[in-house]
Amino acid sequence: MLKPGGRLGICTGDKNHPFTAKVITTEALQRAGIINADAESSTPVNAEELESLLKKSGFRVNEMRQKKDPRYFESSEKCLEYVEASSFGNFLSNIPKVALRLLKAEVLDELEKRRTSKGIESVYYIIFSIAEKD
C-alpha cells in the first residue's frame, strides 16, 4: 500500500526471454513427455504486460528497461545449483525422484554444451521498472 507519490521498484525475469537453464530444462521436460509445448511459463510477465499491470493498478511508470545479463559458471553443476537456490527450492520440485535424476543429468549435459572460455554461459533477461503511485 503506497500513498500517492510513493515509489515502487520491480525487477523480474522476462517471460519472452527465459534464461538459458530454464529453456534447456523445459526442452528436456517436453522430450520426456512431462510437460507439453504449450506449458505456461513460471515467469508471469513481459515488459508490456508489467507496464499495463502497473498502470491498471494506479501507477505512473517512470522507468522501464530490459537488460540482457549473461552469467558464467565454472561448471554445469554450479549453474544448476544457482538456479535451484534462486528458485526457493521450487525448481523441479514436482518431478518424481526417479525421473529427476535422469532429467538433471540431461540438463547438465546440455549446459556443458554452453561452455565458453569464460565458463558455462546462462543468459538472463531482466526487466527493471520504477513506478510512482498516482
What are the sequence ranges of the domains in the chain? 7-133
Provide the grid cell at 12: 523480474
When mean pLDDT is compared across 37-46, 87-96, 103-112, 121-130, the lowest value belongs to: 37-46
Q: Which amino acid, residue 116?
A: T
Coil, strand, or helix at residue 80?
helix
Q: Which residue has the higher pLDDT, 132 or 28?
A: 132
pLDDT in tens, 2-40: 899 999 999 999 999 988 988 898 888 888 887 776 666
Give the largest CA-CA distance in the chain. Answer: 52
Which homologous superfamily is 7-133 in?
Answer: Vaccinia Virus protein VP39 (3.40.50.150)
Model-level pTM?
0.74
Helix/strand/coil for 56: helix
